[in-house]
């Protein structure tokens, strides 16, 4: 099928272009994007990552079609797209650092294709498989991802709220819980008014 996507050349230019998407294979899912967040990494990427690539890695949308091996999603489901899809078997995953999975994490190799995600050839631009930011490319009418990269959410969550969970929210929550190790009930005492306990 045909779609449209914002494609960056990696030199600071980007434009709306036509892309083609294959039918979903195996455990792949075809998603109609409902909303895409804009992350600071997008700003960096359009100038510094090797182009061409489809911009955007925070997305939410509706499942349009599923591959024959998809078990938990069906057409009509609402999903958040997930680029942090651990393989579960590499050195980093086995040591609890699933965010830097050696096989699937785009955090480790910016702008590169990561082998655990839907193949490059599944989405084409001008007849060639095209890179997608964090293997998602959410600034697009459609995208193809593997089933573990699409997390089902309730229909009453607006796409515009759901989409930012995929990067902005999980980065913030990870910083609070893993890096700062803030515990339940913690507070910053300087925020308290004088004399309060
Ligand atoms: Zn981001
Ligand atoms: Zn891994």
pLDDT tens, position by position, 112-159:
888 889 988 999 999 999 999 999 999 999 999 999 999 999 999 999
Residue ranges in the chain modelled with pLDDT below 70: 190-197
**For residue 114, which ligand has an atom nearest its CA?**
2
In a domain, 9, yes or no: yes
In a domain, 21, yes or no: yes
Print the SS3 string covering the chain.
CEEEEEEECCCCCEEEEEEEECCCCCCEEEEEEEEECCCHHHHHHHHHCCCCEECCCCEEEEEEEECCCCCCCCCCCEEEECCCCCCCCCHHHHCCCHHHCCCCCCCCCCCCCCCCCCCHHHEEECCEECEEHHHCCCCECEEEEEHHHEEEECCCCCHHHHHHHHCHHHHHHHHHHHHCCCCCCCCCHHHCCCCCC
Residue 142 C-alpha to ligand 2 middle, in angstroms?
27
In a domain, 196, yes or no: no
CATH number of the domain enclosing 72: 3.90.180.10
In a domain, 193, yes or no: no
Q: Which domain holds residue 108?
A: 2-176
In a domain, 54, yes or no: yes
In a domain, 49, yes or no: yes
**For residue 94, which ligand has an atom nearest its CA?**
2
In a domain, 185, yes or no: no
Residue 27 C-alpha to ligand 2 middle, in angstroms?
18
**For residue 44, which ligand has an atom nearest its CA?**
1
In a domain, 186, yes or no: no
Number of domains in the chain: 1
């Amino acid at each position: 099928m045909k779609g449209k996507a914002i494609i960056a050349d990696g030199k600071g230019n980007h434009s709306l272009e036509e892309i083609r998407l294959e039918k979903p294979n195996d455990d792949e899912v075809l998603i109609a994007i409902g909303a895409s967040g804009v992350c600071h990494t997008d700003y960096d990427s359009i100038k510094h990552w090797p182009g061409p690539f489809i911009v955007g890695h925070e997305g939410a949308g509706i499942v349009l079609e599923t591959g024959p091996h998809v078990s938990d999603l069906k057409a009509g489901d609402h999903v958040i797209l997930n680029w942090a899809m651990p393989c579960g078997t590499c050195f980093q995953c086995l040591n609890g650092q699933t965010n830097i999975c050696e096989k699937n994490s785009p955090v480790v190799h910016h702008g590169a294709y990561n082998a655990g995600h839907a193949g490059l050839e599944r989405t084409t631009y001008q007849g060639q498989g095209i890179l997608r930011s964090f293997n998602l490319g959410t600034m697009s009418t459609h995208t193809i991802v593997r089933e573990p990269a699409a997390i089902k959410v309730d229909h009453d969550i607006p796409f515009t709220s759901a989409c930012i969970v995929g990067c902005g929210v999980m980065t913030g929550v990870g910083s609070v819980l893993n890096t700062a190790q803030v515990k339940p009930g913690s507070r910053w005492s300087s925020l308290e008014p004088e004399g309060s306990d």
